[in-house]
Amino acid sequence: MYTTAFLDLPHLTSAGGTVRLPGSKSISNRVLLLAALSTGHTDIVDLLDSDDTQVMLKALAQLGCRIETQPDGALRVHGLGGQLPVKQAPLFLGNAGTAMRPLTAALALLASEQGGSFELSGIARMHERPIGDLVDALRQLGCPVDCLGQEGYPPLRLGDGAAHALKLDQPIRVRGDVSSQFLTALLLALPLVARQDVVIDVVGELISRPYIEITLNLLARFGVQVRRDGWQRFTIPAGSRYTSPGLIHVEGDASSASYFIALGALAPASPGTDGITIEGVGLSSIQGDIRFVEAARLMGADVSGEANRLHIRRGAWPLKAIELDCNHIPDAAMTLAVMALYADSTTTLRNIASWRVKETDRIAAMAAECRKFGATVEEGVDFIRVTPPTTWTTGSIHTYDDHRVAMCFSLAAFNPAGLPVRIEDPKCVAKTFPDYFEALFEVCQTPEQAIPVICIDGPTASGKGTLASEVAQRLGYHLLDSGALYRATALAAQDAGIDLDNEPALARLAAQLPVRFQDHRVFLAGRDITDPLRLESTGGMASRVSQHPSVRQALHALQLSFRRLPGLVADGRDMGTVIFPHAQLKVYLTASAEQRAQRRYKQLISKGNTANIDSLLADLKVRDQRDTSRAVAPLKPAEDALLLDNSDMGIEPSVQLVLSWWQGKTVFSAR
């Protein structure tokens, strides 16, 4: 997951390969709650691991539900059988609507029946998302519900500690035209108290019906058959009881699939691929958003599929503008708004009023951000109309703490103007798809020169390793510590008993160096060499190994292979001069030999090693001399490098300076 302040997506040109989707959010949170309310335990396979499911898991644990991971990775939920072992708890539900609504209904009913009191709250945005219609329905039933802030909005107090008889004789009336989640919440909760037939009447036209179908489908899996008369009346039969199905598989998320369906529709297939394949969700999905496939086809996508898999290729190009009622695919329809940027004329998405009460006001958000690319956008109470840009521009995309806004606009990186796209707060995708950008980069391609490289060269102990790794972290870029490759070669030579003057043997070794970088550790042929790699003696050997032209040549291709999406920070001696001569930013870092010796001394002492400052200084000068005077790729600043003497500078100011230089090189600098 990218936890950076922003993520710059280079311009992307093609896509191809297979994506495995994380589990469906809607199914995951419903299944978790049903499993917790059931009798017996349920093993859940492929559960989504994201912010919204974490929130639900934590709440269930607080309510006394035992949850454990099985050796095969499944999550085992021990059902409470409809009984509350904990009768009082404050539950914080973040911004997870799929936790707030059903837990409100279930806990209001259980607290009234069994005597209990629960306080449900969330982040500020959650307290702006209406829940009044559900509260009204629960009050009709006789449940004490208090809105602790504004009437009709969370936070809520459910129950007052005492038991109350529920009024189940009359049909329960609930509005269906604001959010289908109110009806879902009642459908999930009422079987807990259905000693008699319980009838729910929907007032107003029911929106987002496919989500109700998911709910009914899952209720049936847990042993409750709801009778449905059209979409107006639902009856929960007397004597309904939740029983665990034992094992349940969560499908991949069909809303998440929409980004990759769109990707396949708008990106040319990468050479050697046949477009995009999506695994984990297919044409027999129970999720309503699978019908995004039909909308994408209308726009020109070539989509074929099987029960659990989809294949997408570019069909019509440019995409075809559409006019569509999107009530049945409210979440996935946002993706259509971005596809509309690539269409041949104006696209109108209608009947999307529910967008206004989601994670953010999504109509306003999509309109504002589409305009950053030069599109003309008209918005109404319940529609959005997008006319594609005649001249594409780009911008820094504000994401409103809304995962879908972030995922949608990543697709703008295929713009015909060749412009990069900046996504602010990329970690907001954690709500449903924490590794979205990793998955995207995995299947996207772009010419190598479009992938940015920042080079940080300098002498030994100048602090370039720390600086490079910090800069890489702030930008979400990959890191190449090229010195580590020479050091690893030296260690491998030592292991194999190869003399450091035996150039041909060293070059053969370097050409097939079995080195691997993982989680800040370095492995040589599977052995963890992170600590020996950093020894002074290893640095000295590396300096000798690196003199040999054929060793340098042997490591060249390996170094180039670190240039991957979304970008690279490379540190060493010749990053800017030899390996990446066309890098967008080159920094040459220096500090006086005395300063560097001091730093190395402190570093060694802090790690519990003994050190002598005079001999460190002498060693350093010898290595400087050798690195700068060697025949090939001597240490020197590239002509276009920016010099940074950090003798009197701490690490953070150096990082900030380099980041500001970088910002000045990007198209996002005029903010």
Active site residues: 331
Minimal distance in Å, beta carbon 659 to ligand DC? 22
Give yes or no for residue 404 binding ligand DC (CB under 6 A): no
Specify the residue, 43 or 457, whose C-beta has the smaller distance to ligand DC. 457
Q: Among 398, 426, 627, 654, indicate the residue that binds ligand DC (CB under 6 A).
A: 627
Closest-CA residue to 208 (of 357, 381, 351): 351
Answer whether 385's CB lies under 8 Å from 378's CB: yes
Q: Pull the structure tokens for residue 33.
A: 């709650």
Specify the residue, 244 or 543, whose C-beta has the smaller distance to ligand DC. 543
Q: What are the backbone dihedrals phi and psi of residue 44, each rounded to the nearest 5 degrees, phi first? A: -105, 125
CA separation (Å) from 353 to 111, 208, 333, 376, 565?
33, 11, 12, 20, 37
Specify the residue, 183 or 570, whose C-beta has the smaller distance to ligand DC. 570
What mask of x and - would describe binding to ligand DC in positions 504 to 543, judged by CB under 6 A?
-----------------------------------x--xx
Specify the residue, 21 or 454, whose C-beta has the smaller distance to ligand DC. 454
Specify the residue, 280 or 540, whose C-beta has the smaller distance to ligand DC. 540
CA 565 to chain centre: 15
Q: Of the ranges 84-92, 129-137, 240-248, 569-577, which one interacts with ligand DC (CB under 6 A)?
A: 569-577
Minimal distance in Å, beta carbon 634 to ligand DC? 9
Q: Among 127, 129, 563, 623, indicate the residue that binds ligand DC (CB under 6 A).
A: 623
Q: What are the backbone dihedrals phi and psi of residue 639, each rounded to the nearest 5 degrees, phi first? A: -60, -35
Give yes or no for residue 572 binding ligand DC (CB under 6 A): yes
Minimal distance in Å, beta carbon 479 to ligand DC? 13
Q: Of the ranges 299-307, 372-380, 566-574, 589-597, which one interacts with ligand DC (CB under 6 A)?
A: 566-574
Q: Which long-range contacts (CB under 8 A, 24 or more apart) does 392-396 make?
A: 392/416, 392/417, 392/419, 393/417, 393/419, 394/419, 394/420, 394/421, 394/422, 394/667, 394/668, 395/369, 395/421, 395/422, 395/668, 396/6, 396/372, 396/422, 396/424, 396/668, 396/671
Q: Which of residues 466-485 bind ligand DC (CB under 6 A)?
A: 482-483
Q: Pull the structure tokens for residue 577.
A: 């001069």
Give yes or no for residue 459 binding ligand DC (CB under 6 A): no
Q: What are the backbone dihedrals phi and psi of residue 528, each rounded to the nearest 5 degrees, phi first? A: -75, 110
Answer whether 538's CB lies under 8 Å from 532's CB: yes
Q: Of the ranges 60-68, 128-136, 321-329, 572-580, which one interacts with ligand DC (CB under 6 A)?
A: 572-580
Minimal distance in Å, beta carbon 657 to ligand DC? 21
The percent of the chain in helix, strand and coil, each rounded to the nearest 5, is 40, 20, 40
In this structure, is the dihedral angle defined by the CA atoms of residues 288, 294, 299 and 303, taken in order, positive or negative?
Answer: positive
Specify the residue, 211 or 580, whose C-beta has the smaller distance to ligand DC. 580
Specify the residue, 144 or 549, whose C-beta has the smaller distance to ligand DC. 549
Give yes or no for residue 330 binding ligand DC (CB under 6 A): no
Give yes or no for residue 573 binding ligand DC (CB under 6 A): yes
Q: Among 118, 182, 400, 486, indicate the residue that binds ligand DC (CB under 6 A).
A: 486
Specify the residue, 429 or 551, whose C-beta has the smaller distance to ligand DC. 551
In single-letter form, the type of residue at position 281 comes to: V
Specify the residue, 269 or 542, whose C-beta has the smaller distance to ligand DC. 542
Minimal distance in Å, beta carbon 625 to ligand DC? 11
Place of tokens 């504002």: 368
Q: How far apart are CA 116 and CA 144, in angstroms?
A: 10
Sorted by sequence, the CB contacts under 8 Å of residue 385 that are 6+ apart come out as 346, 347, 348, 349, 377, 378, 379
In this structure, is the dihedral angle defined by the CA atoms of residues 297, 300, 301 and 302, taken in order, positive or negative?
Answer: positive
Minimal distance in Å, beta carbon 51 to ligand DC? 39
Q: Which residue is nearest to ligand DC (CB)?
A: 483
Q: Which of residues 260-319 bind ligand DC (CB under 6 A)?
A: none
Q: What is the 3-state secondary structure (H, E, C) of 276-301?
A: EEEECCCCCCCCHHHHHHHHHHHCCC
In this structure, is the dihedral angle defined by the CA atoms of residues 657, 661, 666 and 671, taken in order, positive or negative?
Answer: positive
Q: How many of the other CB atoms lie within 10 Å of CB of 494?
A: 14
Minimal distance in Å, beta carbon 487 to ligand DC? 5
Minimal distance in Å, beta carbon 469 to ligand DC? 12
Give yes or no for residue 588 binding ligand DC (CB under 6 A): no
Answer whether 545's CB lies under 8 Å from 502's CB: no
Give yes or no for residue 460 binding ligand DC (CB under 6 A): yes
Q: Among 478, 487, 548, 563, indicate the residue that binds ligand DC (CB under 6 A).
A: 487
Residues that bind ligand DC (CB under 6 A): 460, 482-483, 486-487, 539, 542-543, 546, 572-574, 623, 627
